[in-house]
């Protein structure tokens, strides 16, 4: 085979071309002239990783093919609208760096939907159904039409008017699309598209009749010229339902792609469950670092590009997957490692006095890969704080990094320490751990908050200058400096 490649490279390439590994996302059909896509969250809370997948995938395709990228706020269910979420969603999108070109909010567009509903009734594509829920459900299961289905258009228009003018109350009437009652999937049969809701009031508009998503989504996808829709496969049934509406209107259907369900190890992504946890005090807020919200990731020092890269690596496969923190952390480390300055953080410190050791200034590099950044200086004056876990009967020598070696001798379970010179070679030969340390005089109290609890310790004074930045605590891991004050430093553990 290799011989063929050398003798006739063209032939070889022609034969084996299809086996070149593709990079990036699969091509979209009908996208050569550019695309119009949308990210359409429900404003019930802040965005989480699950949203990020939809948002980033659509964003990537718009960037790949060129075109417009709409943010559409789907707030047509007042029961599931959190007034604060409008801003949170916007903030999260800014953080993610999406290339949104315009924004629409569905609650501003109710009259558009009402008009289209009237048209749909006029076309005989929908009817007002006054059956109660159970009755309709039974008829549907039996593939039978409900009595409302065959009423004349004029009567349906009249009933529609009664819905709009508040004659009908909640639950008394609904608009249904005529589909195929013989459809083997009961979920397809004459599904509802408008309902009446008396309460709760919508936070943004005064309304009584609300479109269901299958109607408002079709209306807006058409009105806004959406060409491609990428969304989770939990919408496959909705896509099929929506086709009935497109057909009634004679509209062109966008290209759909449905990706699989995504879970995340050890995290709840359900907005309602997160809200409950916050209300009960289990979580400190939407940005509690144990949550999978984007603001929680941001607080922990995960970069938006890491989220993007991790999500793009997953792609649009329709298999159900479980999102792994490892993969996100690996992406983040690529971004953060070259940037983060290095500092010492000593967890659970033990203070050593080292008789005979000379006072000495240690100069440790802020970043070993970038010496030009300079150094931090730590002045040793007889005592050093070290991680308690490093002082074990097994170790006979430790090396304080960038300083010198210390011998350990144990008597009756009590260690004593002595200066052992500053030869790095000796430390290596003795297999001494080279550990982080701090002069007691300048140690700053520092709490490192991890997803599994708090670690108290101390850090270098210069960490105070890193507020809001991600640093690397040597031999501990990356951390984002969350707050700095007289009592010390609080940092969130990012990952190792």
Partner RNA sequence: GCUGCUAUAGUGUAGUCCGGCCAAUCAUGCGGGCCUUUCACGCCCGCGACUGGGGUUCGAAUCCCCAUAGCAGCACCA
Strand pairing category for 192-196 and 383-387: unpaired
ω into 186 cis (within 30 of 0): no
34 vs 143 by CB, closer to RNA: 143
Q: Are 338 and 470 in contact (CB under 8 A)?
A: no
98 vs 336 by CB, closer to RNA: 336
Q: How far is the CB of 294 from RNA (least distance, A)?
A: 17
Q: How far is the CB of 57 from RNA (least distance, A)?
A: 12
Strand order through the sheet with 67-73: 35-39, 67-73, 102-105
Could you identify the residue written with the tokens 């607080």? 299
Q: Which residues lie across from 337 on neighbouring strands? A: none
Q: How far is the CB of 199 from RNA (least distance, A)?
A: 12
* 67-to-31, 70, 157, 228, 440 alpha-carbon distances in Å: 10, 10, 39, 11, 59
* Residues found in the chain: 496
Report residue 441 as tokens. Answer: 């005089």
Q: Are 397 and 407 in contact (CB under 8 A)?
A: yes
CA dihedral of residues 50, 53, 55, 59 (deg, nearest 10): 170
Q: How far is the CB of 4 from RNA (least distance, A)?
A: 10
Q: How far is the CB of 412 from RNA (least distance, A)?
A: 26
Report residue 397 as tokens. Answer: 């020598």
Q: How far is the CB of 114 from RNA (least distance, A)?
A: 15
Q: Are 364 and 324 in contact (CB under 8 A)?
A: no
288 vs 330 by CB, closer to RNA: 330
Q: Collect all residues with Cβ–Cβ distance below 8 Å to 225 and sequence separation of at least 6.
A: 36
69 vs 473 by CB, closer to RNA: 473
134 vs 280 by CB, closer to RNA: 134
Q: How far is the CB of 343 from RNA (least distance, A)?
A: 10
102 vs 326 by CB, closer to RNA: 326
19 vs 252 by CB, closer to RNA: 19
């Amino acid at each position: 085979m290799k011989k063929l490649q050398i003798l006739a490279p063209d032939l070889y390439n022609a034969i084996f071309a299809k086996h070149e590994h593709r990079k990036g996302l699969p091509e979209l059909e009908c996208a050569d002239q550019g695309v119009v896509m949308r990210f359409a969250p429900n404003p019930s809370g802040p965005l989480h990783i699950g949203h990020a997948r939809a948002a980033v995938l659509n964003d990537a395709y718009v960037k790949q093919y060129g075109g417009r990228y709409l943010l559409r706020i789907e707030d047509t269910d007042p029961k599931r609208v959190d007034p604060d979420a409008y801003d949170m969603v916007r903030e999260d999108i800014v953080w993610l760096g999406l290339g949104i070109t315009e924004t629409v909010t569905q609650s501003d567009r109710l009259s558009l939907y009402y008009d289209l509903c009237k048209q749909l009734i006029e076309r005989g594509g929908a009817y007002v159904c006054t059956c109660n829920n159970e009755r309709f459900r039974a008829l549907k299961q039996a593939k039978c039409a409900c009595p409302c289905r065959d009423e004349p258009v004029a009567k349906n228009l009249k009933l529609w008017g009664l819905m709009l003018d508040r004659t009908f109350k909640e639950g008394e009437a609904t608009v249904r699309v005529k589909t195929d009652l013989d459809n083997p999937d009961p979920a397809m049969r004459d599904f509802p598209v408008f309902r009446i809701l008396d309460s709760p009031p919508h936070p943004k508009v005064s309304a009584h009749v609300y479109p269901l998503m299958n109607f408002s989504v079709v209306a807006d996808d058409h009105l806004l010229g959406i060409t491609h829709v990428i969304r989770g496969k939990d919408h496959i049934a909705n896509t099929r339902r929506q086709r009935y509406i497109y057909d009634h209107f004679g509209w062109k259907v966008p290209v759909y792609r449905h990706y699989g369900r995504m879970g995340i190890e050890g995290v709840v992504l359900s907005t309602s469950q997160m809200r409950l946890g916050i209300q009960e005090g289990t979580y400190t807020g939407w940005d509690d670092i144990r949550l999978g919200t984007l603001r929680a990731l941001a607080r922990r020092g995960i970069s938006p590009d890491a989220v993007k890269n991790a999500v793009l690596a997953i792609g649009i496969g329709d298999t159900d997957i479980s999102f792994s923190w490892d993969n996100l952390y690996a992406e983040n480390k690529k971004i953060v490692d070259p940037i983060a300055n290095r500092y010492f953080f000593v967890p659970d410190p033990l203070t050593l006095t080292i008789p005979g050791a000379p006072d000495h200034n240690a100069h440790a590099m802020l970043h070993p890969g970038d010496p030009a950044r300079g150094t931090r200086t730590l002045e040793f004056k007889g005592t050093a704080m070290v991680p308690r876990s490093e002082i074990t009967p097994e170790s006979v020598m430790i090396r304080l990094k960038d300083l010198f070696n210390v011998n350990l001798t144990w008597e009756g379970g009590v260690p004593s320490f002595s200066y052992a010179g500053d030869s790095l070679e000796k430390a290596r030969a003795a297999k001494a751990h080279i550990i982080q340390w701090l002069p007691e005089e300048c140690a700053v109290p520092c709490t490192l908050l991890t997803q599994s609890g708090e670690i108290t310790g101390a850090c270098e004074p210069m960490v105070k200058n890193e507020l809001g930045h991600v640093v690397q605590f040597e031999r501990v891991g990356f951390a984002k400096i969350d707050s700095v004050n007289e009592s010390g430093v609080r940092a969130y553990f990012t990952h190792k």
